[in-house]
Structure 1
Amino acid sequence: MLIRLLRAHLGPYSRPITLLVLLQLIQTIATLYLPTLNADIIDNGVIKGDTGYILATGGIMIGVSLAQVVCSVGAVYFGARTAMALGRDMRAAVFTRVQSFSTREVGQFGAPSLITRSTNDVQQVQMLVLMTFTLMVSAPIMMVGGIIMALNQDVPLSSLLVVIVPILGVIIGFTVSRMRPLFRTMQERIDTVNRVLREQISGLRVIRAFVKDHHERKRFGTANDDLTDVGLRVGRLMALMFPLVMLVVNLSSVAVMWFGAHRIDSGGMQIGALTAFLSYLMQILMSVMMATFMFMMVPRAEVCAERIEEILSTETTVVPPASPVRELSARGFLELRAAEFRYPGAEEAVLRDISFTARPGETTAIIGSTGSGKTTLINLIPRLSDVTDGSVLVDGVDVRSLDEALLARTIGLVPQKPYLFSGTVASNLRYGNPEATDEDLWAALETAQARDFVSKFAEGLDAPIAQGGTNVSGGQRQRLAIARALVRKPEVYLFDDSFSALDYATDARLRAALEQETRESTVVIVAQRVSTIRGADRIIVLDEGRVVGEGTHRELMDDNETYREIVLSQLTEEEAA
């Protein structure tokens, strides 16, 4: 999975990678050549007292060292640049795919996990690539080259490598095999910590209201301790591995000095050759240690790559049309024909056989008990989710065939939980229409009954809005969301319980202003408050995912028991008449 992910995203960077490998090759060759030059100085210069040879060879060593430094700096530069670009591309790919998800896929992964995969998981893969470019390219060259150069110095002494390298390989293999499942658990525990922390920050008022501070501290502490426990288990493996590797390295040095001294004493080897052999041994072992360090990162990066690939390979259930319709002839005629929505694997459909029409210039209201499927029904129209059977049509065209931009221009949605982005009042309103003038914004605010409180801000339209709109009240947030939809001037307005946080007087003024503003548009209102929808041209009554009534307020009061129960739970018989 890791290889496939890297192959898919490193393709555009073949030229810098080729240059990087070339620089690493030159640097490694220079590193391998220096001990041989040093041995020549000792054996042919120092021992023989040849100053000229020492200076000449020393000059070559300086030149080789300079080439090594230049290539090293260049390799690090190109490696870092490519790794950072890879991280950027992966984050962009994950973001683009998540943006295409329907509410079903977002719910499947969960927001905390999506955030972790876009940040921490991508960073782990990026770090592995960076370390691979700066260390792993040179490590195998140095190890193979070191063995060759060591054999060139003394073949009998090189037999020590036959024992040393397999021992290191066994240590590395044992450690890596234990680390991989731990790293998978670690990433899942990070997801859990993010989820708990996000819930606690978002639900801070509820926590304070119910005095659950101690409970939430305990819940976060449990998640934090679980992550710490996995981290400690990984740390113990690392703490075990490094001393073992260093023990092998130090024993190898002692063994080389011991057997090398005997080789010198017998005349089979020179002092400079022993010095060079010891340098090559250290280079071989260092390359193995670099590989060890890399192998420690690979399991975690592999797990992260699987999690990233899981997102990238998940296809959205809201599929863009192959041949999109880019123009509509009519203006906002909405129709649902036997629409059904069922979650994957669910025994029962959430919505079943939903059929009704909503016409321009009319207001269609949807009412029903909690859990009857009202919000799910509204979400089918702008394709936040797609019907699993039947169809949703705008101006006679199935919404699944409409161009995404056209659908967005045609439909203006005010969701049940209005969300405002960090920025200003103006930037949030222009989310509906980037070309809107200040006059357009004030007009929309006037209709949404939001002009009064916005004009009281010292900055006016430039007043700051915190993420989620947390620095304004619930009612103000709803009115700003309504104004945002009005700025777009769509043919179809969808209000999903968008007046629940308003007092009755504001609600009445807003509905009266909306009636004038949307008199040529199709308006669909989902509401719990009967007073909000009793004047609608058509009222759809939902119960357990089915349409159980359709008509005006008076018609439904006379012949629909479900609607009558809802109305009388809020109004007296006289008020409902």
Structure 2
Amino acid sequence: MAARSVVGRSRGIAGVLLRLLPFLRPYWLRVLEAFFCMVFTTLLALPMPLLSAYIIDQIIANHQMTILHVVCGALALAVVLGSGLGYLQRYLVLVFSRRVFFDLEIRLFKTVHSLPLPFFHQSGSGYLATRISDDVRQLRSLMAGTYIEGLSSLALVAGALGVMFAIHPPLAIAALVVLPAFAWVSLRFGRRVQVESIVVQERKGLTNVVRLESLDSAGTVRAFGRRRREAQRLAGALHREVAARFQRDTTMVMTQALQMFLYSLGGLLLVWYGAHEIITGRLTLGQFVAFNTRLLRRICG
């Protein structure tokens, strides 16, 4: 079992994603539709900071009430369209991800059934059933949540960076000071969470082995008075599973705390330098609001 863990770790996320490609091909049209929804959602979101700056610097300053109504109406329309496209994107992802991972679980089930019989005796049915169902479920959550949402966020970040450098390059550089540290924390601790999640899955599978073996042999357990011993076996397995979960969850909490610290530090630097630029007349209040309320959240939020 330890060998299987090492193999699972060595494959890496990139290898897992490449092996998923054959399962995506039958649903390429849904993938393409979700991609176009993501592109249009990103395009609708990009002008909003610029329009916010325009409202503050031009419309409010010049008391242009009619133009205010027009611009806010356009913003409201963009919000409605963006929300609708965002919902459609998530719905399409939900549809094709469920179909893909249904096919994956059936393929995995067939593959396991083709393995030699000694493999079943060594691993146990409880362990195998747990790993087949839980591993596929976790992979579905990772693919549909982390990577697809991450791709959408990456598109928004790329667009936000372009807008930031177009408005005020020095302030854009100041906003990116903490980004390398933020990326390092995410990657470094993300790998730790991945490894620790594999251990959790192993422990969960072993716990189910103990549970099913004990229940299948309930008559023997009662006949020989081994109920206390079986309860101790299960308690030991559960203790190891809970310990593995606690270690993984502690790493996740630490990651979130460090990310929040860096996010707050980046916001403080942005406020400090942005206020300095406003006082010296090199930055308008509207531009600063666009940076602080929208663009920084796309970078570190």
Compute the TM-score of the two structures, normalised by the length of structure 2. 0.90
Aligned to 2:16: 2
2:295 counterpart of 1:280:
yes
Asked if structure 2 preserves the Cα contact closer than 8 Å seen for 1:44 and 1:53, the reply is no
Matches of 2:196 and 2:270, distance apart in 1:
37
Question: Is the contact made by 1:157 and 1:256 (CA closer than 8 Å) also made in structure 2?
Answer: yes
1:25 aligns with 2:39: yes
Contact 2:164/2:172 (8 A) holds in 1: yes
Q: Tell me if 1:259 matches 2:273.
A: yes
Q: CA deviation at 1:71?
A: 0.5
Deviation at 1:108, TM superposition (A): 4.7
Q: Kindly state the Cα deviation for residue 117 of structure 1 after the two structures are TM-superposed.
A: 2.5
Which residue, out of 141, 164, 189, partners 1:127? 141
Q: CA RMSD in A?
A: 1.6
Tell me the equivalent position of 2:87. 73
State the AA in 1 paired with 2:297.
Answer: M
Distance 1:180 1:62 in 2: 41
Cα offsets for 1:92-118 (capped at 9, x unmatched): 112222344453443354312320232
- Residue 126 of structure 2 is matched in structure 1 by 112
> Match of 1:239, as an amino acid?
V
The yes-or-no answer on 1:182 pairing with 2:196 is yes
Tell me how far 1:257 sits from its aligned partner.
1.4
- 2:177 maps to amino acid: V
SS in 1 for 2:131: helix
| Structure 1 unmatched ranges of 5 or more | 287-577
Structure 2 counterpart of 1:67, which letter?
L
Q: Distance in 2 between matches of 1:187 and 1:170?
A: 26
Structure 2 residue matching 1:47: 3-state secondary structure: helix
Is the Cα–Cα contact under 8 Å of residues 95 and 118 in structure 1 kept in the other structure?
A: yes
1:238 aligns with 2:252: yes
Partner of 2:151: 137
Q: Is the 8 A contact 1:21 1:137 kept in 2?
A: no
The question of whether the paired residues in 2 share the 8 Å contact of 1:87 and 1:126 is answered with yes
1:127-526 equivalence runs, <5 A: 127-132=141-146, 134-278=148-292, 279-286=294-301
Bigger helix fraction: 2
CA contact under 8 A between 2:182 and 2:262: conserved in structure 1?
yes
Letter in 2 for 1:33: P
- Given candidates 36, 43, 50, the residue that maps to 2:64 is 50
TM-score when scaled to structure 1?
Answer: 0.48
Per-residue CA shift, 1:135-155, capped at 9, x if unaligned? 122111111111111112211
CA distance in 1, matches of 2:105, 2:249: 28
Q: Partners of 2:290 and 2:201 in 1: how far apart?
A: 45
Question: Partner amino acid for 1:258?
Answer: W
DSSP-derived class of the 1:268 partner: coil
> C-alpha distance in 2, partners of 1:65/1:146?
17
One-letter amino acid of the counterpart of residue 137, structure 2: Q
The question of whether the paired residues in 1 share the 8 Å contact of 2:175 and 2:269 is answered with no
Cα deviation digits, residues 403-450 of structure 1 (max 9, x gap) = xxxxxxxxxxxxxxxxxxxxxxxxxxxxxxxxxxxxxxxxxxxxxxxx
Give me the whole-angstrom Cα distance separating, in 2, the residues matched to 1:107 and 1:215.
22
SS of the residue 2:103 aligns to: helix
Kept after mapping to 2: 8 A contact 1:76/1:134: no
Preserved contact between residue 277 and residue 283 of structure 2 (Cα < 8 Å):
yes
Structure 2 partner of 1:86: 100
- C-alpha distance in 1 between matches for 2:52 and 2:176: 25
Instruction: Judge conservation of contact 1:20–1:74 (CA < 8 Å) in 2.
Output: yes
Partner AA of 2:163 in structure 1: M
Q: 2 CA distance for matches of 1:61 and 1:18?
A: 27
CA contact (8 A) 1:17 1:79 kept: yes
Q: Deviation of residue 128 (structure 1)?
A: 1.2
Letter in 1 for 2:230: E
Count of residues paired in the alignment? 286
Instruction: Give the superposition deviation at 1:133.
Output: 6.2
Alpha-carbon distance, 1:269 to partner: 0.9
For 2:24 and 2:124, the matched residues in 1 are separated by 28
Structure 1 counterpart of 2:30, one-letter code: P
CA distance in 2, matches of 1:109, 1:86: 27
Q: Tell me the CA shift for residue 17 of structure 1.
A: 0.5
CA contact 1:249–1:285 (8 Å) conserved in 2: yes
Q: Secondary structure at the match of 2:62?
A: coil
Task: Write the distance in 1 (CA, Å) between the matches of 2:104 and 2:199.
Answer: 22
Q: Which has the higher mean CA deviation after the structures are superposed, 112-121 or 187-196?
A: 112-121
Q: Which amino acid aligns with 1:252?
A: G
Tell me the amino acid that sits aligned with residue 299 of structure 2. I
> Residues of 2 paired with 1:208 and 1:184: CA distance?
35
1:34 maps to: 48
User: Alpha-carbon deviation of 1:132?
Assistant: 4.2
The change in CA–CA distance for 1:191 and 1:61 in structure 2 (over 3 A counts) is same
Q: Is the 8 A contact 1:80 1:130 kept in 2?
A: yes
